[in-house]
Amino acid sequence: MKHRKQGKKLGRNTAQRKSLYKILARGFFINQGRIETTLPKAKAVQPRIEKMITRAKDGSLASRRWLYRYFQDQKLVNGIVDNFGKKFKNKPGGYTRIIKLKKRRGDDATIARLELVDQGENGEE
């Protein structure tokens, strides 16, 4: 039975899956709140990114340490808190959305864009 089991395995073992989530989240924040990946990966990493933005809104030392524990990059953590935390200071949640784009030619996988809600179709805010 699969009672109380959360998350997707994505065909990877635990270490590979954690690394994948870290890479996707890092790419999301480095690319100013937008990444393109397969639909299952976008759905798997979206709740993690939402939690990171919620932590960044607080901006406290504890929040920065929580983010640093995940990324191990102080410059990135400061950028997340300064840019994303301040941008969504008064928004209670729902910072990201997933938009289906196309099917990949080689394996017919659905490609999706995970982006911030306040961004338009061409990336303008």
Asked if residue 9 is part of any domain, the answer here is no
- pLDDT at residue 121, as a whole number: 59
Q: Does any domain span residue 79?
A: yes
Please say if the pLDDT value at position 124 is more than 90: no
Domain-located, residue 3 = no
Which domain does 74 fall in, by range?
15-116
- The pTM score is 0.87
Domain count, the chain: 1
Identity of residue 113: R
User: What pLDDT was estimated at residue 77?
Assistant: 95
Is residue 62 domain-resident?
yes
* CA angle, residues 18, 48, 72, in degrees to nearest 5: 60
Secondary structure (3-state) at 12 = coil
pLDDT digits (tens, 9 = 90+) for 38-53: 999 999 999 999 999 9
- Residue 88's identity, in one-letter code, is F
What pLDDT, in 10s, does the model give residues 68-98? 999 999 999 999 999 999 999 999 989 999 9
Residue with tokens 């993690």: 48
In a domain? residue 125: no
